[in-house]
Structure 1
């Protein structure tokens, strides 16, 4: 599954350094598509174009302030994730909580960056997250397992996403945080951040539920691998080798 990813990454590395304006345009498009799709998966009704306008500082009539804040806060969380990658910071629970704090900024400040103190259900999922009294212990275990993982970087990033959502450590914003964490790890490994599309929401949820209830992660690995391959090919196409 990872052979093609490795070959595409090696090919992309042969073109580095990439043209400055190409990198800039790719980055702007990534932030927009990532923010739009990640929020849309969670029910935000802003369109792609409306998300772009909101990120430019303009208010959309007929849309809630929460939806506006979700777009703005997600962009700030991406900025923070990119800073972590640039500074090569260690992966810790503090990083996880800081990302989540940005996700819920101006939306639910009381719960932003704070592990849940109550039990929750994941709507439509067969899996039930652990009792809240186990969250601290399981999150410490998640970070430990991440730092000890020896497999392919894509598998590590996918497993981080799967394990995080299984614990569901926050009362809200877990999905957006999970996708930010997955991309944080991909970027730290030199891979491209991926966009899980809102149109693929059903297969995404089904792959997660299968991983959580049956411990079968292949469907999610395939979804992540396909998204990474698409991201790599998108960059290669712009540098003249698509």
Structure 2
């Protein structure tokens, strides 16, 4: 995903100035309005100088307000780093021209042997288990993630999107997810990104018994995250068939589709065999971005996939709250260009500690899940979907038919009342939960008003 930083870098690399139309031609995934907003922000900050008007306007780098060189941007001091991590930082903080171009190193993956090789040390794993333990440790898989789902949807959707340059605030995200209200002045791309995260998280939590580290799960997770965001919609949920480049990096991923397929199979097989949930989580955060199996949205896919083993083990989630984008970018650069995990590992441990501080606190405030809603959640969702997609039919009749066919007689009145309550609270922000499209919901609402 291209960012404001990419735009500024290309302006600096264009002695004659850069026309926005030329930049957009090379970055078709960026909406024109977003690029115009970025350019205006750079002008306001004094980082670029515009010349000309209309379509022929060019943007020139400002000599007195240049973009800081990487080595001038200090790594956050509140994230503890090992000596090895500082060594990685010293390398990636060099100018691009000083770093050695490198391709995909197959031995990096081949050398990893599940449950014999460990990226996280034994003491780190013990520490993570200790701070991430929840009261639901021995409950069925997914119990904890379902209990905190409403908060999880907001925190993880917002924080992961923020790492991609999304400018939605956390409050904007609450308004969008809880009430279906789109933030004013935000690009459509940003709204779509948040909603895609919500759908992807729900996919994992609601299907916890069937998802795993396999192609079906990973491809569908990517499809949910990439919906309506890629220049070519055929790339959604599909292993890439072409080469890609990594912005601001000398790393060149595999380009041959057959090699990508083979490496992805190996990544998933090894991930599935790892027994420790934290090692499994970190392994996937390393090898999905490193392989770049998709045309784009690889890091987002890895961040959500990294939560799957935590959901299954009823551990606190990894939400990436307060993770600085610069820290995350440089940690992944060290992975790409040196195949070294120390900096990303230090960031992972810090980020998980930060997440658990939030979730262990809010867990005390959560009411126990409604056992009736939990027991009949699939019936409730299917019934609401059937009501909405048939706006001309009697809603109560549909509900009664579904309840009588599946629910024991003593529970029927309560389940029916529960479905009616859910139907009354239906809004744009929860449509994905029921597999509904906005057009279906709009048509149903219109029918109710007649």
Q: What TM-score, normalized to structure 1?
A: 0.85
Q: Check conservation: 1:126, 1:209, Cα contact below 8 A.
A: no
Question: Is 1:220–2:361 an aligned residue pair?
Answer: no
Higher relative helix content: 1
Give the Cα separation in 2 of the matches to 1:143 and 1:239: 32
Q: Partner of 2:247 in structure 1?
A: 123
Give the Cα separation in 2 of the matches to 1:107 and 1:162: 23
| Aligned CA distance change for structure 1 residues 190 and 221 (closer, same or farther; 3 Å) | farther
Give the Cα separation in 1 of the matches to 2:268 and 2:301: 15
Question: Is 1:145–2:270 an aligned residue pair?
Answer: yes
Question: Is 1:27–2:152 an aligned residue pair?
Answer: no
Q: Partner of 1:3 in structure 2?
A: 126
Give the Cα separation in 2 of the matches to 1:117 and 1:239: 44
Larger relative CO (CA 8 A, sep 6+): 1 or 2?
Answer: 1
Q: Partner of 2:260 in structure 1?
A: 135
Structure showing greater Rg? 2
What's the CA shift string for 1:126-165, capped at 9, x where partnerless?
A: 4221114221111111111112335x32122111111000
Aligned pairs for 1:106-117 within 5 A: 106-108=228-230, 109-117=233-241
Q: Check conservation: 1:77, 1:99, Cα contact below 8 A.
A: yes
What's the CA shift string for 1:192-231, capped at 9, x where partnerless?
A: 2212246511221222222333232122222222222233
Let me know the Cα RMSD of the aligned residues: 2.5
Q: Check conservation: 2:148, 2:363, Cα contact below 8 A.
A: no
> What is the aligned length?
233
Q: What TM-score, normalized to structure 2?
A: 0.48
| SS at structure 2 position matched to 1:95 | helix
Question: Is 1:78–2:201 an aligned residue pair?
Answer: yes
Question: Is 1:236–2:236 an aligned residue pair?
Answer: no
| SS at structure 2 position matched to 1:13 | coil
> How far is the alpha carbon of 1:60 from its aligned partner?
2.5
> How far is the alpha carbon of 1:234 from its aligned partner?
2.7
Q: Check conservation: 2:317, 2:355, Cα contact below 8 A.
A: yes
Give the Cα separation in 1 of the matches to 2:162 and 2:136: 35
Of 142, 157, 164, which residue of structure 1 is paired with 2:288?
164
Q: List runs of 5+ in structure 2 lacking aligned partners.
A: 1-123, 365-450
> How far is the alpha carbon of 1:111 from its aligned partner?
1.5
Q: Partner of 1:95 in structure 2?
A: 217
Q: List runs of 5+ in structure 1 lacking aligned partners.
A: none
| Aligned CA distance change for structure 1 residues 30 and 16 (closer, same or farther; 3 Å) | same
What's the CA shift string for 1:103-137, capped at 9, x where partnerless?
A: 12233332210111111111123422111422111
